[in-house]
Amino acid sequence: METEYKIFKKAGAFLSKYGIYFAFLLLTCILAIISPPFLTTSNIINILRQISVNGIIAVGMTLVIITAGIDLSAGSIVALSAVIAASYAHSGTYPLIVPLALGVISGLACGLINGVLIAKKRLAPFIVTLGMMTAARGMGLVYTSGRPVINLSDSYDKIGGGYFWGIPIPVIIFLAVVLCGIFILHYTRFGRYIFAVGGNKFAAKVSGINTDRIIISVYAITGALSGLAGIVLSSRVMSASPATGQGYELDAIAAVVIGGTSLSGGVGTIAGTVAGALIIGVMNNGLDMLNVSSYWQLVVKGLIIVLAVLLDKKSKNA
Amino acid sequence: MIFIKRFHASMNLIVAAILTIAVLNGCSRNSKTVHQIIIGVSYQDLQNEFVIRLQDAIRVKAKELNIRLVELDGQGYAEKQVSQIENFVARNVDAIILNPEDQYGSSPAVDIAVREHKPIIVVNSIVANLDKADAYVGSPDVEAGKIEALEIMRLLNGKGNVVLIQGPYGHSAEIQRSKGIREVLSKFPGAEIVAQQTGNWDRAQALSVMENWLSAGRKIDAVIAENDEMAMGANKAISAEGKQKKIFVIGIDAISDALMAVSHGEIAGTVFQDAHGQGALAVELAYQIVKGIKIIHTNFIPFQLVTKENVDNFIK
């Protein structure tokens, strides 16, 4: 009797840690059974490439949400950075490093403004980043007069369309961002401070942590990663439209929350976020492959997001 | 992505309302010229390249006729356009040009103008109560769909597997273009629509959808996309798989990089919609109606198929 109970408790603890990964495996298995081409190497690469833009943003978003913040401006920053980077990426003008640097720097600058207003001026993250969402979208439109930036160089095309050892470059960039994110969040003092700020900001401050600096940093990082995502996105479609990236912040938030990070802060992992992004990506891909009616796709996607979080919550209570 | 788009609506609305008031105030303060005709223009969405071209044409023609414009952007929301028309009425403009976002949602805008005895010209897309408006200038979207489907059927000799990448569901242009495409394809027993999905007019989204279809291993002979952005996205997925010579792609709008792709033989064609002709005629009609000249109600500006043979006429 007692041993049974112990086993149950152990299984519960195991599930609580890995619930979201089981949800992902379950979804994968179901799709693999009903659609055989789903589990081919080319399709797996395909899915990884498709989630890379959302995944890059979601890594930054995880840091922000762990501090109990939110960043609604990510999608607009994607568009602004994309058009700025692309406008310096016409063939035979600047070396590749110029559009890359400008894309990341413009994202970083937007993120810094967010962070300073939130940390120093004590404004609500929701409002500050809502303002940035609108303003950055507007800046992108002003910069381009509303027209897409086209005629990008072949070297710029390589970022989104190229391969390295058979792996698409967007996937490599995504993996590098994930590894850096895991390292920073879980293996550095800075990472521990991020958790501390989100868990109890007052206690963190009293114990000598420069909370303002932590908050400014996480928004700046998310801005820079959104800029990077903008570069990957524009080079993938070989054009940058100021209208692109709408709703990307919410896809990233969905990936973070599905991945078990609490919107009230203090709890979360990058690996969970990657699983969350994978669930969303696998779902999009699988439903398209099965030719599910697009109206129903929306219903199914909504249900799966809520179910994944429900399963995660239930396993944590077990 | 779409399931959260509405989320932006409410927030954008507040910001836009404030901006609208600001713009209108700004305009009234500056009104010094006495006999100049003032026309209010409500655009469906100035983040769309075609609508921007329409705006360019309207501005050029207005300048030519010495008309002052008050321009507002509906930003993709019909309800925004309705309040913009109310503002035009309050602002006492001489005539209104409406470029409706939604066939049904934007129609109250026409009712308001009619009730307040303001001449209203509908341009480009249609509204449900089009007969109440003083005039309509545009190109019937059903035709664009038909032109696309006919060209693809010509290339495939009337048989093959076709996939459809559609505009945002419920958008008038999507409804009308899909209708035209289906109407033509249903006449060819050998042709089948094997998959369809929305790309929300977006290149990146169409790219993902096409990648997923190609991954599924289904045989695809042609892609009919309801605009060029999505055609270019689909083409990107196809060329990555090295199937460019095997799958025909066609779009609508004749945007500049689609024209380049047609001339290089990367995509089969596109359909040219005459933004300049539509915008110029809309202003012309508004001018005439203010001057008391009788005008024709329905003014169609034909679409033109662009293929490799005639693409040079369209590249500027």
Nearest to B216 among A161, A289, A301 (CB): A289
pLDDT computed for residue B23 by the predictor = 52
Does residue A309 surpass a pLDDT of 80? no
Q: CB of B7 within 8 Å of any CB in chain A?
A: yes
Examine residue B309 and state whether it is found in any structural domain, yes or no.
no
| Better pLDDT: A201 or A12 | A201
In a domain, B256, yes or no: yes
Question: What is the distance, to the nearest Å, from the Cα of residue A58 to the centroid of all Cα atoms in its chain?
Answer: 2
Q: What is the pLDDT of residues A92-113, one digit of tens each?
A: 889 999 999 999 999 999 999 9
User: Average pLDDT, stretch B188-203?
Assistant: 93
In this structure, of A12-26, A63-77, A122-136, B195-209, the range with the lowest mean pLDDT score is A12-26
Q: Which of A13-17, A301-305, B236-240 has the lowest mean pLDDT?
A: A13-17
CA angle A234, A240, A241 (to 5 degrees): 135
Q: What is the pLDDT of residue B1?
A: 42
- Which of the four pLDDT bands, split at 50, 70 and 90, describes residue B219? very high
Closest Cα in chain B to A54: B1
- Indicate whether B4 pLDDT > 60: no
The verdict on B74 and B158 lying in the same domain is no
Chain A partners within 8 Å of B217 (Cβ): 37
pLDDT tens, residue by residue, B107-151: 889 999 999 999 999 999 888 899 999 999 998 899 999 999 999
Q: How many domains does chain B have?
A: 2
Which is nearest to B126 in space by CA: B113, B107, B108? B107
> What are the sequence ranges of the domains in chain A?
56-269
Residue B310 within any structural domain of the chain = no
Residues B165, B208: one domain? yes
Same domain, B181 and B133: no
Q: How far apart are CA B93 and CA A9, in angstroms?
A: 74
Tokens representing A246 are: 């709408």
- Give the gap in angstroms from C-alpha B118 to the nearest C-alpha of chain A: 30
Nearest CA in chain B to A38: B216
- Tokens at residue B65, please? 């006729």
Same domain membership, residue B83 and residue B151: no
What value does the mean pLDDT of chain B take? 88
- For B176, the token pair is 């009308």
**Residue B206 shares a structural domain with residue B227:** yes
- What number is the average pLDDT over the span A60-80? 96
Q: Average pLDDT, stretch B171-194?
A: 93
Nearest CB partner across the interface for A237, out of B8, B169, B233: B233
> Do residues B45 and B103 share a domain?
yes
| Residues B127 and B158 grouped into a single domain | no
CATH number reported for the structural domain that contains residue B263 in this entry? 3.40.50.2300
Looking at the fold, whether B257 and B170 belong to one and the same domain comes out as yes
Cα-to-chain-centroid distance, residue B149: 18
Cβ contacts of B232 on chain A, cutoff 8 Å? 237-239
Angle (deg, nearest 10), helices A270-289 and A294-317: 150
Residue B315 lies in a domain: no
Backbone angles phi, psi at B68, to 5 degrees: -95, 135
Q: Cα–Cα–Cα angle for A90, A93, A99, nearest 5°?
A: 65
State whether B126 and B244 are in the same domain.
no
CB contact under 8 A, B48 and A42: no
Query: What are the respective helix, strand and coil percentages of chain B, to the nearest 5?
Result: 50, 20, 35
Q: What is the 3-state secondary structure (H, E, C) of A243-291?
A: CCCCCHHHHHHHHHHHCCCCCCCCCCCHHHHHHHHHHHHHHHHHHHHCC
Answer whether residue B311 is part of any domain: no
Q: Is residue B171 part of a domain?
A: yes
* B207 Cβ under 8 Å from any chain A Cβ: yes
Amino acid, res. A106: S
Can you give the pLDDT at residue B31? 45
Give the residue with greater pLDDT, A19 vs B18.
A19
Residue A290 has what pLDDT?
A: 83
User: What residues make up the domain containing B167?
Assistant: 141-272
Does residue A2 surpass a pLDDT of 70?
A: no
Is the confidence at residue B273, as pLDDT, over 60? yes
Quote the minimal CA–CA distance from B35 to chain A in Å: 31
Q: Which residues of A touch B257 (CB under 8 A)?
A: 148, 150-151, 239
What was the pLDDT predicted at A253?
94
Measured in whole angstroms, the distance separating CA A100 from the mean position of its chain's CA atoms is 19
Looking at chain A, the whole-number percentage of residues with pLDDT higher than 90 is 56
Mean pLDDT, rounded, for A213-230: 97
What does DSSP assign to residue B132? G
List, in sequence order, the alpha helices (H) in chain B: 5-30, 49-64, 78-91, 107-115, 141-155, 172-185, 203-215, 228-240, 256-263, 275-290
Q: Range with the lowest mean pLDDT among A17-26, A129-138, A259-268, B51-60?
A: A17-26
- The tens digit of pLDDT for each residue in B9-65 reads 555 555 555 555 555 544 444 444 457 899 999 999 888 888 999 999 999 999 999
Q: Which residue has the tokens 């040219």?
A: B272
| B-chain residue closest to A242, CA distance | B47
Report yes or no: B66 and B33 within 8 Å, Cβ to Cβ.
Answer: no
CB contact under 8 A, B195 and A291: yes
> Would you tell me the crossing angle of helices A211-236 and B203-215 to the nearest 10 degrees?
70
Structure tokens at B298: 């329905």
Looking at residue B312, the DSSP 8-state letter turns out to be G
Let me know whether B10 and B126 are in one domain: yes
Q: Find the residue in B nearest to A234 (Cα).
A: B204
Of A82 and B256, the one with more pLDDT? A82
Q: For position B28, what pLDDT does the model report? A: 47
Q: What is the pLDDT of residue B217?
A: 85
Q: What percent of chain B has pLDDT over 70?
A: 89
Q: Which residue has the tokens 């001489």?
A: B94
Residue A290 φ/ψ, nearest 5 degrees: -80, 0
CA distance A239 to A152: 7
Contact B143, B202 (CB under 8 A): no
SS (H, E, C) chain A: CHHHHHHHHHHHHHHHHHHHHHHHHHHHHHHHHHCHHHHCHHHHHHHHHHHHHHHHHHHHHHHHHHCCCCCCCHHHHHHHHHHHHHHCCECCCCCCHHHHHHHHHHHHHHHHHHHHHHHCCCCCHHHHHHHHHHHHHHHHHHHHCCCCECCECHHHHHHHHCEECCEEHHHHHHHHHHHHHHHHHHHCHHHHHHHHHHHCHHHHHHCCCCHHHHHHHHHHHHHHHHHHHHHHHHHHCCCECCCCCCCHHHHHHHHHHHCCCCCCCCCCCHHHHHHHHHHHHHHHHHHHHCCCCHHHHHHHHHHHHHHHHHHHHHHHHC
Nearest 5 degrees, angle CA B273-CA A237-CA B156?
A: 55
Cα-trace Rg, chain A:
20
Mean pLDDT for chain A overall: 89
